[in-house]
Amino acid sequence: MSMHQISVFLGNRPGELNKMTHVLAEGGVNMRALSLAETTDFGIARMIVDNEEKAIEVLKQADFVARITEVLAYEISDEKGGLNKLLELFTESGINIEYMYSCIIGKKDAKAYMIFRVSDTAAAEATLAGKGVKALDVRVD
């Protein structure tokens, strides 16, 4: 099941990430997963949130450049080679993974998930359907 990720462009300077998280907190947006990549001049925060429409609204009101991107998230088994088994399914189908990051969801019996941005979301979903991998829906705990 595909889901929406928020990508936010941040100036690479002290306090910029804190400003973004403050805006989201004040707006009542809960981050479920976060990845931060940087270059010399700017960074990109990628996140899964509980309400992407609200996140975009409050970020844009605070003059952040933000956009919604489609991603996939699948549970990773807690065993040696758990990630490798999932990646093999992508490889067998010729699906390119552009980037990925992890998150843990749940308070009791927490589960680990990998979030993927892929070259062809529909093809990846079709490939993984019926293969025994569990997709994540961040709106459900």
- The structural domains of the chain, ordered by start, are 2-70 (3.30.2130.10), 71-128 (3.30.70.260)
Question: Is the pTM value of this prediction over 0.75?
Answer: yes
pLDDT tens string 5-46: 999 999 888 899 999 999 999 999 999 899 998 877 889 999
Q: What is the pLDDT of residue 140?
A: 39
Tell me how crowded residue 138 is: count the other CB atoms within 10 A of its CB. Answer: 20
Q: What is the pLDDT of residue 131?
A: 82
CA distance 72 to 82: 17
Ranges of the chain with pLDDT below 70 = 1, 106-107, 137-141
Q: Which of 70, 79, 75 is nearest to 122 (CA)?
A: 70
Q: What does R_g of the chain's alpha carbons equal in angstroms? A: 16
Q: What is the pLDDT of residue 141?
A: 39
Using the Cα atoms of residue 35, residue 95, residue 121 and residue 132 in order, give the sign of their dihedral: negative
